[in-house]
Amino acid sequence: MQYDLFTSVPAFRLISLSSGSSGNCYYLGTSKYGILIDAGIGMRTLKKYLRDYGVAMETIIAVLVTHDHGDHIKSISGLGGKLNIPVYATETVHFGIERSKYLESSISASRRVIEKNMPFSIKDFQITAFDVPHDTIENVGYQIKIGEKTVVLITDVGRITPTIEEFAKTANHLIIEANYDEEMLLNGRYPQHLKQRITSGMGHLSNRLTGELLTSIYSNQLDEVWLCHLSQDNNHPELAYKTVEIALKEKGISVGKDIVLKTLSRGKPSGLREF
Ligand SMILES: [Zn+2]
Ligand SMILES: [Zn+2]
């Protein structure tokens, strides 16, 4: 773990404030500045969570948006509108946000357009967005570098692509979706069209496919993996963890020794990582 030598405080912190279809929001920050990735929880809850971790709202200098689904943009009007915090998204994702029923007031003054595969910087954060297939007009993952460390977030993943593998390989800390257990979804109460949507290659990622991705991209630079966006109906945290753990073990990668693995709880802060 890399600490500032003089103050012995962490150089930066990563927090999962909420994960899952009821709302997704991550915080990444240094002692001076912070950014949010997605803003899928209500403003009041978001403010409370940040306060609980001692993060002042005034230190938030950007919100990065993956895509326009409600569970990722619920408080985007509050952040981008009322608080005028810059909202970073691709042109297409901005278009999606603008026509979304979750947008309560205009965020045009805080609109910042980014391009996929074009690195950009905000203060100490070096950021690259990349394409992630999902059933919306556009969805991106984010690679964020602070100093020597790289955090990669990939959520709402229809299928694994070479681009996803390429970016996942760069991570020291990876947040990756493990949405559903294949058997639970198959035998569950969801209507057939919804089951098809989820498994279509434009929906979400199963525990099994997440395990396969991790075994194929693993190297000793990958320190920690957080499994995110677990389905309430078609998954259990223990099942997601076990499925991925077994997949890794089959390739000789030992959870706890070679890699730290965590599942993020739905709808409440759960992960905290200090670098
Ligand atoms: Zn989602
Ligand atoms: Zn989505």
- Going by their DSSP bridges, the two strands 140-146 and 125-131 should be labelled as antiparallel
Q: What's the one-letter identity of residue 263?
A: T
Other C-beta atoms within 10 Å of 201: how many? Answer: 12
> Positive or negative CA dihedral for 9, 153, 143, 100?
negative
Give me ligand 2 centre to Cα 242, in Å: 24
Ligand nearest to the CA of 67: 2
Give me ligand 1 centre to Cα 24, in Å: 7
Q: State the burial class of residue 52 (Cβ atoms within 10 Å of its Cβ: 0-12, 13-18, 19+).
A: exposed
Residues 271/55, Cβ–Cβ less than 8 Å: no
Please tell me which residue, 17 or 1, carries the higher pLDDT value: 17
Q: What pLDDT band is residue 149 in, cutting at 50, 70 and 90? A: very high
Ligand nearest to the CA of 20: 1
SS3 82: helix
- pLDDT of amino acid 267: 85
- pLDDT of amino acid 125: 97
Ligand nearest to the CA of 158: 2
Q: What pLDDT band is residue 232 in, cutting at 50, 70 and 90? A: very high
The residue whose two tokens read 């920050």 is: 29
Ligand nearest to the CA of 22: 1
Give me 197's structure tokens: 């949507």
SS3 244: helix
- pLDDT of amino acid 1: 45
Distance between CA atoms of residues 66 and 57, nearest Å: 21
Give me ligand 1 centre to Cα 232, in Å: 12
Give me ligand 1 centre to Cα 177, in Å: 9
Give the residue among 254, 196, 246 at the shortest CA–CA distance from 222. Answer: 254
What residues does each domain of the chain span? Answer: 13-268
The residue whose two tokens read 């927090």 is: 15
50-98 pLDDT per residue, tens: 999 999 999 999 999 999 999 999 999 999 999 999 999 999 999 999 9
5-57 pLDDT per residue, tens: 555 567 999 999 999 999 999 999 998 999 999 999 999 999 999 999 999 99
Give me ligand 1 centre to Cα 180, in Å: 13
For the domain covering 13-268, report its CATH number. 3.60.15.10
215-224 pLDDT per residue, tens: 999 999 999 9
- pLDDT of amino acid 236: 97
Q: H or E segment at 253?
A: none
Distance between CA atoms of residues 205 and 214, nearest Å: 12
| Residue 7 β-bridge partners | none
112-127 pLDDT per residue, tens: 999 999 999 999 999 9
- pLDDT of amino acid 5: 54
Backbone angles phi, psi at 94, to 5 degrees: -60, -40
Ligand nearest to the CA of 228: 1
What integer best gives the mean pLDDT of the chain?
95
Share of the chain above pLDDT 70, in %: 97
Distance between CA atoms of residues 172 and 1, nearest Å: 11
Give the residue among 23, 80, 33, 83 at the shortest CA–CA distance from 269. Answer: 23
